[in-house]
């Protein structure tokens, strides 16, 4: 009986199936569809504006992600677009690299930031409501001392390309040297960042300085040593501003926190 009915309605089922499929496509490709996390379209628009303003360095010195953007930032970070944005930029860096004319004097340098550039704190920030919770120095210390930050795959790909091209790669981080020195070395090693020239952490001399001032001074010292800084990649504008910023700078996305 069921089989006979199925036979009879097969053409109808096909039409309905096609309607179902095409409807989904029409609904989801219509012009005004924005990415809609659970805060609804209006909230999503606000959070799109907020995130763009953060990435273009219009919004500065922000302490936490706006609570209404929790789901937006979560979706962005773990839904695939963050990874795609990173890979897009890294592909672009690699195109730039192809046009760089290296000398053989061993002084062609490249600078990479560490946190959320080479290695990711996303797992930690999942537990901090994707940046909606205020900065927790003790919590971060416990996390970072474990040395378990995973590599950001796109940046590891760039790192390996830089090393094989013959660049001297300097990893420059605002992490405190005495507290995080060994854990950071171990973490970079266990994630495959091998062959860099120097890992530079914040020594006592730079304690309390802003990242812009501290990192500018480090880059100035490298230039005084004779290095030519061809490129500089970081997730914070403070990695990329100040003096001796490098021939090209590249800003990776980070909607989770702000470092002055």
Residue 200 host element (H or E)? strand 198-202
Main-chain dihedrals φ then ψ at residue 37, nearest 5 degrees: -75, 180
Which range, of 71-79, 145-153, 194-202, 219-227, touches a copy of itself by CB under 8 A? 71-79
Site for a copy of itself in 89-148 (CB under 8 A): 89, 92
Query: Would residue 81 be called left, alpha or beta, if left means φ above 0 and alpha means ψ between -120 and 50 degrees?
Result: alpha
By CB under 8 A, tell whether 197 contacts a copy of itself. Answer: no
How many angstroms separate the CA atoms of 87 and 155, rounded?
A: 8
- Walk across the sheet containing 198-202 and list its strands: 198-202, 168-176, 108-112, 228-234, 248-251
Q: How far is the CB of 76 from a copy of itself (least distance, A)?
A: 9
Q: Which of 3, 7, 28, 204 binds a copy of itself (CB under 8 A)?
A: 28
How many angstroms separate the CA atoms of 71 and 122, rounded?
A: 14
By CB under 8 A, tell whether 20 contacts a copy of itself. Answer: yes
Which range, of 12-20, 142-150, 170-178, 186-194, touches a copy of itself by CB under 8 A? 12-20
Which range, of 2-10, 100-108, 145-153, 159-167, touches a copy of itself by CB under 8 A? 2-10
How many angstroms separate the CA atoms of 115 and 110, rounded?
A: 16
| Residue 150 C-alpha from the chain's centroid | 12
Each residue 29-68 as x (binds a copy of itself by CB under 8 A) or -, in order, gives x-xxxxxxxx-xx---xx-xxx-xx-xxxxx---------
The gap between the terminal CA atoms of the chain, to the nearest Å, is: 73
Q: For binding to a copy of itself (CB under 8 A), which residues are involved?
A: 5, 8-9, 12-13, 16, 19-20, 23-24, 27-29, 31-38, 40-41, 45-46, 48-50, 52-53, 55-59, 71, 75, 79-81, 84-85, 87-89, 92, 249-251, 253
């Amino acid at each position: 009986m069921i089989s006979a009915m199925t036979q009879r309605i097969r053409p109808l089922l096909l039409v309905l199936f096609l309607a179902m499929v095409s409807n989904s496509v029409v609904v989801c490709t219509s012009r005004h569809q924005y990415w809609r996390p659970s805060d609804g379209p209006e909230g999503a628009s606000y959070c799109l504006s907020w995130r763009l303003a953060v990435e273009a360095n219009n919004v500065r010195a922000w302490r936490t992600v706006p609570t209404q953007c929790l789901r937006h930032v979560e979706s962005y970070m773990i839904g695939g677009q963050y990874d795609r944005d990173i890979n897009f930029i890294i592909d672009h860096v690699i195109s730039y690299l192809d046009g760089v004319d290296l000398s053989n004097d061993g002084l062609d340098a490249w600078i990479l930031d560490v946190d959320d550039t080479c290695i990711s704190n996303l797992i930690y920030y999942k537990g901090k409501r994707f940046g909606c919770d205020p900065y927790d120095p003790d919590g971060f210390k416990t996390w970072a001392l474990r040395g378990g930050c995973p590599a950001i795959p796109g940046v590891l790909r760039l790192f390996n390309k830089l090393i094989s091209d013959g660049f001297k790669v300097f990893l420059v981080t605002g992490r405190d040297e005495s507290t995080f020195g060994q854990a950071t070395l171990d973490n970079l090693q266990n994630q495959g960042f091998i062959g860099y020239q120097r890992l530079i952490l914040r020594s006592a001399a730079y304690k309390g300085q802003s990242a812009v001032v501290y990192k500018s001074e480090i880059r100035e010292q490298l230039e005084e040593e004779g290095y030519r800084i061809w490129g500089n990649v970081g997730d914070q504008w403070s990695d990329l501003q100040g003096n001796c910023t490098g021939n090209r700078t590249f800003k990776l996305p980070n909607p989770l926190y702000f470092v002055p």
